[in-house]
Amino acid sequence: MRLTILGGGGFRVPLVYQALLGDRGEGRITSVVLYDADRARLASIGAVLRQQAAGVTDAPVVTETTDLDEALRGADFVFSAIRVGGLEGRTVDERVALDLGVLGQETVGAGGIAYGLRTLPVAVGIAQRVAAVAPEAWVINFTNPAGMVTEAMIPYLGDRVIGICDSPSGLGRRAALAIGVDPSTAFYDYAGLNHLGWLRGLRSGGVDRLPSLLASAEGLASFEEGRLFGVEWLRSLGAIPNEYLHYYYFARETLAAVQGVRQTRGTFLLEQQSAFYAETARRPEQALELWQKTRAERESTYMVESREVADAGERDERDMAAGGYEQVALSLMRAIAHNERASLILNVRNRGVLRHLDDDAVVEIPCTVDANGALPVSVSQLTDHQAGLVCSVKAVERSTIEAAAGGSRAAALRAFAWHPLIDSVTAAGKLLDAYATQLPALAPFRP
């Protein structure tokens, strides 16, 4: 089996390769093709992978290329994990928004829209090339904003593109462990959009254990989302939100916190990652060690502002060690390749499951996966509150897709203005103008 990784020079690629090295089963991935536009990054990550493979018999063979069609030809699975505009782009996404008084974040709010506007045309181009060159391949989309990117690729790939994120499974795992349930045996009644969902039930042995978790202040205080949102709010909601909902429920406080830092997340990562790639080019024999050190620092500072707002303390060691998106990706590939039925929370078409959304809306929802792909299973309906937020943000995603497809300024303006975290049409217009001025890819939206 061949896996092609688009964005193969990306920093998290060794996590995927590590997961592949642990997969000894028949029909496993034996060949990995790394594709990236940047040769130097490919060389650095290639060096890390070779060191990971040292001493492992039958480690998947790694090749590198900067030619997209060559990378896609013969692929059984394609992971798309690209960052259009790089971390430089991320810093602009954040900074423009913060300077105009709204949240500046990678995927949520104004930053996510700007990121979507420059990423969607590239993602659509990739979908077209996959459809032409590797029509049988399954595309696993990690590229953020993952929900809207997946939705934009579906017209070219149908249900052969599936979006993934590590946040829902992480939430499920943490909630299960907090009440002593084996995470792999539970059913998670989770629904929403990517980075905008809620865990509304956690069934184990035929019993919904979420009420008992909500009743236990100690249980709630024992994991990340419990600490972020607090006992009173979680009991009032009757559900546990995805960590990214912290930006909505505590919008003022998170905005102030993000505005108050010396460096935004993007600026921090730009510095950290540039140093990693430069250092690895100088000392390739130490690539793996440098990568491990850099990764530990990246993980420990994840969502630090939100944790400070909530006084939630340090990240849990178990969360930093536990497999994130690479485990979701590997489970998904195995289920498809081996026709081994698995239940995973994925970004797929709604197909009538959530009645507030149409069939083609990409939602984040538990799915049954086998050789035929991923099918959403029935979950509780969204409450009025959940549906309100989900439908608003879906409208934002779709306006962004429309804007990116045709360069329509009107659609782009709607996307910013409709976002629940952007409180005025005037601000939306200023955001659009500032992004269009500062991001070359957004030049078509200049007034």
Which residues belong to the annotated binding site for Mn(2+)? 165, 195
Q: How many C-beta neighbours within 10 Å does residue 411 have?
A: 19
Q: Which stretch binds Mn ion (CB under 5 A): 40-48, 124-132, 163-171, 371-379?
A: 163-171
Q: How many C-beta neighbours within 10 Å does residue 321 have?
A: 8
Q: Which stretch binds Mn ion (CB under 5 A): 160-168, 289-297, 326-334, 438-446?
A: 160-168
Query: Quick one: 165 or 421, whose CB is closer to Mn ion?
Result: 165
Query: Quick one: 91 or 144, whose CB is closer to Mn ion?
Result: 144
Distance CA 306, CA 325 (A): 21
302 binds, among Mn ion, ligand G6P, none (CB under 5 to 8 A by kind): ligand G6P
Q: Which residues are catalytic?
A: 166, 244
In the block, tokens 């049409």 appear at 425
CB of 205 vs ligand G6P, minimal distance in Å: 29
CB of 302 vs ligand G6P, minimal distance in Å: 5
* 329 lines the binding site for Mn ion (CB under 5 A): no
Distance CA 255, CA 248 (A): 10
- For binding to ligand G6P (CB under 6 A), which residues are involved? 106, 144, 165-167, 265, 269, 298, 302, 324
CB of 142 vs Mn ion, minimal distance in Å: 8
* 48 lines the binding site for Mn ion (CB under 5 A): no
Q: At what angle do helices 409-418 and 384-406 cross, to 10 degrees?
A: 160
Query: Quick one: 141 or 254, whose CB is closer to Mn ion?
Result: 141
Q: Are 36 and 49 in contact (CB under 8 A)?
A: no
CB of 26 vs Mn ion, minimal distance in Å: 31
Distance CA 447, CA 440 (A): 14
H helix runs in 140-194, sequence order: 146-157, 167-178
265 binds, among ligand G6P, Mn ion, none (CB under 5 to 8 A by kind): ligand G6P
Distance CA 9, CA 289 (A): 17
210 binds, among Mn ion, ligand G6P, none (CB under 5 to 8 A by kind): none
Concatenated DSSP letters of 336-369: HHHT--EEEEEEEE-TTSSTTS-TTSEEEEEEEE
CB of 167 vs ligand G6P, minimal distance in Å: 4
* Nearest residue to 193 (alpha-carbon basis) of 331, 431, 435, 356: 356
Residues forming beta bridges with residue 346, ordered by sequence position:
365
- 164, 165, 175, 336: which one contacts Mn ion (CB under 5 A)? 165
Query: Quick one: 269 or 335, whose CB is closer to ligand G6P?
Result: 269
Contacting positions for Mn ion (CB under 5 A): 165
